[in-house]
Structure 1
Amino acid sequence: MCSISIQIKCPHCHNSKVVKNGKKTTGRQNFLCKNCGKQFQAEYLYQGADPSMKAQLQSSLLHGSGIRDCYKIFGISPKTTLRFILEQGEKIKITPRQKKYKKVQIDELYSFVNQKGKKVWVFYVYAPETKEILAVTMGKRTKKQLRYLMTQLKCLDIEIEFYCTDAFKSFKEVLPYYQHIIGKSFTKDIEGINTLIRSKIARFHRRTTKFSKKLKYQWHLFKIFVFYFNELPSYI
C-alpha cells in the first residue's frame, strides 16, 4: 500500500505553517495559518469565498472587466464582487514616497454613474518624477472639488514647487499663480495616465455601457487602481 500526503499552504501568505482549526457547518475542514493568523479551507463550496478567486477577481476588474463580466467568468454573484470592491477600497490609504516634488501635474477625466447622461469627474495629482498618483477626488467639475483636492495634498505634508495643468478655468482660480504652469506641453505625462485609466477600468471607457449604480463603488474601485499603480506598477 502507498499513502499520498498533500501539503496545505496558506492562500494568503503562502506559508506552510498550517494547523487544523475545527470544521465548518458544511462539514469541511478549517485551517489556521500560524504565520499570518488567517483561517481558510482547502476547498470552498462557494467560489466567491476562495482567496485565490478574489485575487483573480481583482486582476479582472483592473484589466477592463465589468461586474457582470466577473459574474459570468467566475460564477460568483454581483453582490460578492461589489462587497469585495468596498472591502478592498476601504483599506487603502495613499502614501507619498517623497517629502518634496519639483513638478506635479493635475488633470481631470470623467465617467458615468447610473446612466449615460450623469457625468462624474475625477481630479487627481500625478508626480512624473516618481510615477505615482498623490491625491484623487471624485465628484462634480467645480472649484469646490478642486479645492478639496488641494486640501488632500496639504494633509500629506509634502512640498511641491510647481503645478502643471491645462487651461481649465478653475485651475487658474484655485492654484497659486506663482507656482502654476499652464500648457498642454506640460501635461503630457498625466494625459498618458488618463489613457491608461480608460483602458484598464471598464467604467472609464469612452464608449462604455458599464456604469456603477452608486458612486461609492466607482470611488473604491478607483482607489484600488491607484494603490496598485503606485505600489505594484508591473501589476497594472
Structure 2
Amino acid sequence: MKPALPACPSCHSEEVVKNGRSRHGKQSYRCRDCGRQFVLDPQWRPISEEMKEIIDRLLLEKISLAGIARALQISELWVQQYVNQKSKNVSQEMQVRPKPKCRLTVQMDELWSFVDRKGDEQWVWLAMDVVTREIIGCYIGDRSGTSAQALWNSLPAVYRQCAVSKRDFWVSDPVALPSTRHRAVGKETSLTSYIERFNCTLRQRVSRLVRKTLSFSKKLEDHISAIWNFIHYYNASLPINSSCPL
C-alpha cells in the first residue's frame, strides 16, 4: 500500500500529486485544486515581526551581522538585505528634547573609524549636552575644519545660539567654530570626560567601530546609518533632565 500524500497547506485538499524535487533535493508536491506547490518542512520560512524586533535590538549590541545570523539560525544574506533596507530609513537629523534659551554647555570630540580599509578614514564628530548627556550633534567625515563646521551646523538652533563648547586642542576648531563660543581645554581638566566616555560606549556597542575587527563597514552609507541608529536609541533611553539650572 502506497503511503498517503500530504494535504495541501493552503486549501487542505487531498488532491495532491508529486511534482519533482526542489533545488535542495526535497520531494515537491502540487495541489490539483488550487495549484499550490510545496515541500514538507521547508528550509525557508518567513521572518516574523517578533524576530525582526529581536534583530533590531541585536543591531544595538557589539554583534556582527554574521553573528546575528548564526545566533538566530537565519540567512546571513537576508540579514544583510534587511539591514540595508533599514539603513535607508534611519534619520540623519538630531532628535533632542526641546530646550529653553539659556546658557548651555556642550562637550565636543571626535573618534577615528574607517570604511572598507584603514586607508579610508572616517572621523565621527560628536557633541554632547553636559547636563542631559544627550548627543546633540553628529557628523561623519574627515578631520578638517569643514567637518568641524558641519558638526556645529548639525546642532539644534538653540545650541548654536546659546551654547559654549568645550573640547580638546585641535587646529581645525578655532577656524571652524565661533571664537566667543569655543573653549579649548586639555584632557587633564576632565572637562571633556563625558563625551570621551560616550566614545568608549560607541565603540563597545557598535561593532563597526571595534578596533581589529571583521565587522567594519564595506559601504559608507551603512557605516553612517549604524552610528545614527545607535545615537537615536541612546538619546531615547536617557532619563528626562532639565538642561538649564534652576
- Given the two structures, how large is their TM-score scaled by the length of structure 2? 0.70
Decide whether the 8 Å contact of 2:122 with 2:140 is kept in 1.
Answer: yes
- Counterpart mapping for 1:137-216 below 5 A: 137-153=139-155, 156-159=156-159, 160-183=162-185, 184=187, 185-216=190-221
Structure 2 unmatched runs, 5+ = 1-35, 39-43, 240-246
In the other structure, the counterpart of 1:94 is 94
Larger Rg: 2
CA distance 1:205–1:170, shift in 2 (3 Å): same
CA distance 1:178–1:107, shift in 2 (3 Å): same
CA distance 1:95–1:114, shift in 2 (3 Å): same
In the other structure, the counterpart of 1:33 is none
1:220 is the counterpart of 2:225: yes
CA distance in 2, matches of 1:171, 1:26: 65
Name segments (4+ residues, structure 1) moved above 6 Å: none
Count of residues paired in the alignment: 191
SS in structure 1 of the partner of residue 118 of structure 2: coil
CA distance 1:86–1:230, shift in 2 (3 Å): farther
CA distance 1:74–1:86, shift in 2 (3 Å): same
Q: CA deviation at 1:113?
A: 0.9
**What whole-Å deviation, never above 9, does each CA across 1:83-132 have from its counterpart, x for those lacking one?**
43344442434222133461011111122211233221111111121111
SS in structure 2 of the partner of residue 186 of structure 1: coil
Q: CA deviation at 1:228?
A: 0.6
- Given the two structures, how large is their TM-score scaled by the length of structure 1? 0.72
2:59 is aligned with what amino acid?
A: L
CA distance in 2, matches of 1:26, 1:147: 59
2:198 is aligned with what amino acid?
A: I
Q: CA deviation at 1:78?
A: 3.5
- Counterpart mapping for 1:1-236 below 5 A: 46=45, 49-89=47-87, 90-92=89-91, 93-99=93-99, 100=101, 102-153=104-155, 156-159=156-159, 160-183=162-185, 184=187, 185-233=190-238
Structure 1 unmatched runs, 5+ = 1-24, 28-44
1:150 is aligned with what amino acid?
A: W
